Structure 1
Amino acid sequence: MIVVVLAAAGGYTGWALTAPLSAPAATAQTPAAPKPAAAVALALPAEGSAALSVSGGDDYLGADAGGIWAASGSADPRSIASISKLITALVVLEAKPLASADDPGPTITFGKAAHDLYDKYYVMGATIMPMPIGTTMSERDALATMLIPSACNYAEAVATWAFGSQGAFLSAARTWLAANGLTATTLVEPTGISPRNTSTPADLIAIGKIAAANPVIAKIAATQSLSVPGAGGMSNTNDLLGTGGVTGLKMGNLGDGAFNLLYTASLDVGAAQPLAVTGVMLGGATHDSVNQDVLRLLDSIRAGFHTVPLATRGQRLGSFTTAWGSTAGLVVGADAEIFTWSDTPITVTMTTTTPVEYEEGEVVGSITWTAGPNTATAPVVIEGSIRPPTSWWRLTHPAELGG
């Protein structure tokens, strides 16, 4: 009888000390997604008309609607002043193309008729540059003199040189505008001195993109100052060049209430690539107010991009507990943040697996946050370790044994 009891006791002890244990009970909760920031208020101008197109940021900003991402003011045609010269240059280059941005092209000789344009535009109060009789100049330098200081006499002279007459130039300009779908743009002369040279913000955005894609015009429009034999030194009327990311294109004005700027800009906002902006401001009160409106708008785009903190290393997500009192935490294994735009919603998902060792630092899952095109991921790890029960606990808790 004693032998049987001892055998039974020995059997129980052996069983209790080796019986499988129930897996630790786990609790885990996916962290709440961060609340989106307040929507960015774009600083669109209050006066005149403005439009903006952004390339390279569709994943953040959404696609342009009809080529325009944001706009303010009237969409009706307005006088475009010397922005006309950008169209003139594009029409001339279609007829007399240059091989590259630095190709001087053919030589132009300006005779008495071209020289007389100096006096014609002088009495009109227009911008002019010297053009003595017999002046010779490369096509590229002539285009630069037309665009950089906005010389009206060069605009008409170059248009006549390229097409033989102003009538032929205007016919070619109408054909070019129609071919490019610019049906809301009217050009009655090549300089912009006439208020009947008009266009809409939408058409000007399209013209700006065509000009920026032309290597000759893009390089000239990005030049702050230049000296050309025959014309002398000159400074770009677009004095925003190099400020706020502005890279081009053309300023124009017909006086109070008719200051315009068609511009390009490259905005480094922290994304993989800078944003390529094409914008237009029409009908500004002054040259300075147009500049300030453009800079404020570009700054408001930059300000809309920001980094959102998501989680910190050690942030608690849950726990593991055992019947014998050993516990461990479930935590975020690394700091996490995400780059995003404005009030873009942030979503979060968490996946976990059953631990193998229940040891400190064991990776048992991950958390992924998504905002627009960007994702951020952090591991889910065990904090602390689950220790096995003592022999005494096993011997005194038979009900918790057996798996």
Structure 2
Amino acid sequence: MSPSPGRVVGIAVGALAILGIGVYGPAMLLGPLPDVTVDADPAQAAAPASVAVALPADDASAVALLAEDGSAVTVASSADDEAVPIGGAAKLVTVLTVLDALPLASGEDGPAIRIGPEDYTDYLRYSGEGSRALQVSPGDSWTQRDVVRAVLMSSSNNHADTLARWAFGSVDAYVDRANAWLEEQGFTATRVADTTGLSGEDVGTATELTRLAALVLDDPELSAMLDGRSGSSTPTDDRSVPDVIAHLDGDGVRALSRSYTDQAAITFVWTSVIGSGDDEQRMIGAMTGVDDYETLDPAVLAAVEGMAAASAPIEVIEAGAPYGDVHSAWGDHARLVAAAGRTDAAYGAVADDAVIDVDPFTTAPAGRPVGTVTVRIGDREVSSALELDAPIEDPGPIWRLTHPGELIGAFLDDEA
């Protein structure tokens, strides 16, 4: 006997109910949840700009930090950082080129350099012109160390020529070697035409002058001379070499070169220490084309002051600062906050917008790291983990059973 139509319908409905309970329920209750939606908002916690370093608008100037590897890291430079006459700063090239070829050993005075007729004639000529010169006499014997000190600290033009002739045979040979050395060191704008800087063809940029200064400071023998420690094994025999380049030393400034020529006007290269304790750093500055000391002195002191102010760390990322929100399909909400603060001394740089990177997730307790925030400021990046300020919890069985579309979509996304 065939079952009645009503019975067939009843069996079908029962089978579907059993299937729904046996398949649909577990699928909805155990299936994957959809990922939260991330609404990143980097502007919520924009980092402040650090203090800018002010430089003279009319002259070529640059300031830099002396890095641990001895290089100069430019912090600021004037808009017009083109090659100009550099005056007596060319003597830094003279000293560095000679010591590259014939270095001074620690504690040694180096070979004796005998003063000949040409050296004495140079002394008379430079003295007659009113250029800086330190007295020599035919037959004198100067150590290499003392000649270098005379060039560096007395800016002696005749000693610059003497040093170059002793090292390379002639001033012309020195000029060729010096320009080759500059190219080898990666200087693209600095070139010399003599040992002294009296020629208008001795040129460079303020930025490259800070690089030269860094090389001087990185040389232990030269830095000892500038600090008043001759490094000589026989200091009582050192020749009298006056420190004529010293300027603003009472204000914590150590001059490395100070000169005036008709072509270059005043050129001043210096160093100073900013900060204190563990935060102490050495800065380097260079200014060229300055008309007078009434203009130079306040500009140098302002640059030192500006570097000191700019060295104060700024909070680029503040702990707990919000960088966006996350929302779940079932209504939970939490903010993305920085797990830790990050500071940086950016020397006038302005922070870029934060870059937010959040890993996909469905549920997470409060305080769990779910991504990172990264901020570029200047040429550096600082970052912090991002965590939730509230939990994103499982929505529970009722929401799961009543939202099959969301769960099926999450399942298909997982299978894709």
Q: 1:49 maps to what in 2?
A: 60
Q: 2:42 maps to what in 1?
A: 32
1:127 maps to 2:132: yes
1: CA distance, partners of 2:91 / 2:293 = 18
Q: 1:229 maps to what in 2?
A: 237
Instruction: Rate the CA distance shift 1:267–1:370 in 2: closer, same or farther, 3 A.
Output: same
1: CA distance, partners of 2:382 / 2:337 = 16
Which of 360, 385, 388 is the matching residue for 1:378? 385
Residue 353 of structure 1 aligns with an amino acid whose one-letter code is: F
What SS is found at the alignment partner of 1:87? Answer: helix
Residue 237 of structure 2 aligns with an amino acid whose one-letter code is: P
2: CA distance, partners of 1:46 / 1:322 = 60
1: CA distance, partners of 2:229 / 2:291 = 26
What SS is found at the alignment partner of 2:370? Answer: strand
Shift of 1:247: 7.0
| Deviates most, 132-141 or 378-387 | 378-387
What SS is found at the alignment partner of 1:232? Answer: coil
Matched ranges for 1:225-304 at <5 A: 229=237, 231-232=239-240, 234-235=242-243, 237-239=245-247, 249-254=256-261, 258-263=265-270, 280-287=286-293, 289-297=295-303, 300=306, 303=310
Contact 2:363 2:392 in 1 (8 A): no
Q: 1:198 maps to what in 2?
A: 202
Contact 1:28 1:317 in 2 (8 A): yes
Contact 1:267 1:275 in 2 (8 A): yes
Matched ranges for 1:180-191 at <5 A: 180-181=182-183, 185-188=191-194, 190-191=195-196
Q: 2:320 maps to what in 1?
A: 312
1: CA distance, partners of 2:392 / 2:164 = 82
2: CA distance, partners of 1:138 / 1:204 = 30
Contact 2:273 2:280 in 1 (8 A): no
Residue 185 of structure 1 aligns with an amino acid whose one-letter code is: R
- How many residue pairs match? The answer is 355
Unaligned runs of 5+ in 2: 1-27, 403-416
Shift of 1:184: 6.8
1: CA distance, partners of 2:171 / 2:211 = 18
Instruction: Rate the CA distance shift 1:118–1:306 in 2: closer, same or farther, 3 A.
Output: same
Residue 85 of structure 1 aligns with an amino acid whose one-letter code is: K
Instruction: Rate the CA distance shift 1:185–1:220 in 2: closer, same or farther, 3 A.
Output: farther
| Deviates most, 28-37 or 138-147 | 28-37
1:143 maps to 2:148: yes
Shift of 1:251: 2.0
Q: 1:13 maps to what in 2?
A: none
* RMSD between superposed Cα atoms in Å: 5.3
2: CA distance, partners of 1:316 / 1:172 = 63
2: CA distance, partners of 1:49 / 1:28 = 49
Higher strand share: 1
1: CA distance, partners of 2:263 / 2:168 = 34
| Deviates most, 150-159 or 109-118 | 109-118
Contact 1:308 1:340 in 2 (8 A): no
Residue 215 of structure 1 aligns with an amino acid whose one-letter code is: D
Instruction: Rate the CA distance shift 1:386–1:74 in 2: closer, same or farther, 3 A.
Output: closer
1:149-177, Cα deviation, whole Å (9 max, x unpaired): 2223433443444456xxx2234323432
2: CA distance, partners of 1:204 / 1:318 = 50
2: CA distance, partners of 1:24 / 1:178 = 66
Q: 1:173 maps to what in 2?
A: 175
TM-score, L = length of structure 2: 0.61
| Deviates most, 314-323 or 101-110 | 314-323
Q: 2:212 maps to what in 1?
A: 208
2: CA distance, partners of 1:156 / 1:388 = 86
Shift of 1:143: 0.7
Instruction: Rate the CA distance shift 1:131–1:156 in 2: closer, same or farther, 3 A.
Output: same
Unaligned runs of 5+ in 1: 1-18, 58-62
Shift of 1:214: 7.3
Contact 1:84 1:187 in 2 (8 A): no
2: CA distance, partners of 1:160 / 1:29 = 71
2: CA distance, partners of 1:87 / 1:20 = 78
Instruction: Rate the CA distance shift 1:170–1:221 in 2: closer, same or farther, 3 A.
Output: farther
Q: 2:9 maps to what in 1?
A: none
Percent identity of the aligned residues?
18
What SS is found at the alignment partner of 1:158? Answer: helix
Instruction: Rate the CA distance shift 1:235–1:30 in 2: closer, same or farther, 3 A.
Output: same
Shift of 1:107: 1.6
What SS is found at the alignment partner of 1:174? Answer: helix
